[in-house]
Structure 1
Amino acid sequence: MMKSHYLLVFLCTGYIGWAQAEIYKKVDADGHVTYSSTPTKGSKKLDLGPLTIVPSPARARNNATPPDFLKVDSDTQKNRDNLRHKILEEELSTEQKLIEEARQNLINGKENSEILKDKDGRNYRNDAKYEENIKGLQGQVILHEKNVEALKTELHKLK
């Protein structure tokens, strides 16, 4: 039984040697480099030496806090968390007011498009300017909606 184990190890190490191929390098007239496992005219065999497999060192996972790291007592941290929560709530309230204003501005912009008169006295609307104005107002609504969602996410993380 022991001899078959040595035979298996010997065969495996021999197989690793077979896996190494000869590598040839060729540089053409334009300076392009080509590597190949088959020799071609003008190519040179590279001596890469034996294949060695080096295991990568395991990373030490040290999640411990260093002893000289500044520490905050629980009451101070609780006060900081409460203050952060209060600030986020105030920002959320402000953003919700701003989103309502932006939505109202969009409604007003759609209803009150600028009417111009041409030289013959006919009324018309500058569609390009109208579309640009509406896109800007829609952008403001979207911006405030994203801000509200971000603030709600932050508040949810605090709970």
Structure 2
Amino acid sequence: MPTARLFLLFGLLLSASAQAEIYKYVDENGQVTFTDVYRKGARRVDLPGAPGPVPGKGNAAKRASYAPSPAGFPRIDPATQKRRDDVRRQVLQDEIASEQRDADEARRQLKLGERLQPGERATDASYANRVNKLRATLQQHEQNIADIRRELANLK
């Protein structure tokens, strides 16, 4: 019983430390990628209205910022919300353009990878592994595109 409580407490502490930060990464080919995973050379993107770190405060202060507004609390004016939605829409549009380029390249690589090398057979494990990895990469890009389109459709 005490062990279960310890694991529960540990899990709550870990989940409390999660942050939703967005990074913009530009690779050597000039392709822009937005991600929630930091890469060397990436820059953090501050979105208007997004909760950010609270200086000098712990995770409790961050969690408190997600509490629903009390009755009578001032609402965001429509112009401010529209600007925020426009920024979000632009980020998603940039991200989908990048994913579409990556998917096109993955399709090209799959076509090349499906070609048998001299002395190679379609039943060889190396051929199957290569093609499966290329298909998985393409499938991941296509799934990302579908997810981003769904997010765009959810915008007001």
TM-score, with normalisation over the residues of structure 2? 0.51
Give the corresponding residue for 1:130.
127
What amino acid maps onto 2:141 in structure 1? H
Superposed CA offset, 1:102-149 (max 9, x none): 0000000012x333xxxxxxx444810010000000001110111111
Give the corresponding residue for 2:117.
114
1:74, CA displacement in angstroms? 1.6
1:86 lines up with 2:90 in the alignment: yes
1:100 lines up with 2:104 in the alignment: yes
Give the greater-gyration-radius structure (CA). Answer: 1
Give the corresponding residue for 1:75.
79
Residue identity (%) = 34
1:71, CA displacement in angstroms? 3.1
The answer for unaligned runs of 5 or more in structure 2 is 1-67
Higher relative contact order (CA 8 A, sep 6+): 2
1:67, CA displacement in angstroms? 3.0
Give, in whole Å, the separation in 2 of the partners of 1:130 and 1:124. 7
What amino acid maps onto 1:138 in structure 2? R
Instruction: Count the aligned residue pairs.
Output: 88
1:158, CA displacement in angstroms? 1.1
> What SS does structure 2 have at the residue aligned with 1:96?
helix
Runs (4+) off by over 4 Å: none
Give, in whole Å, the separation in 2 of the partners of 1:66 and 1:90. 35
> What SS does structure 2 have at the residue aligned with 1:114?
coil
Q: CA RMSD in A?
A: 2.2
Give, in whole Å, the separation in 2 of the partners of 1:142 and 1:87. 22
What amino acid maps onto 1:88 in structure 2? L
Give, in whole Å, the separation in 2 of the partners of 1:139 and 1:72. 43
Give, in whole Å, the separation in 1 of the partners of 2:88 and 2:97. 14
Give the corresponding residue for 1:120.
none
Give the corresponding residue for 2:140.
143
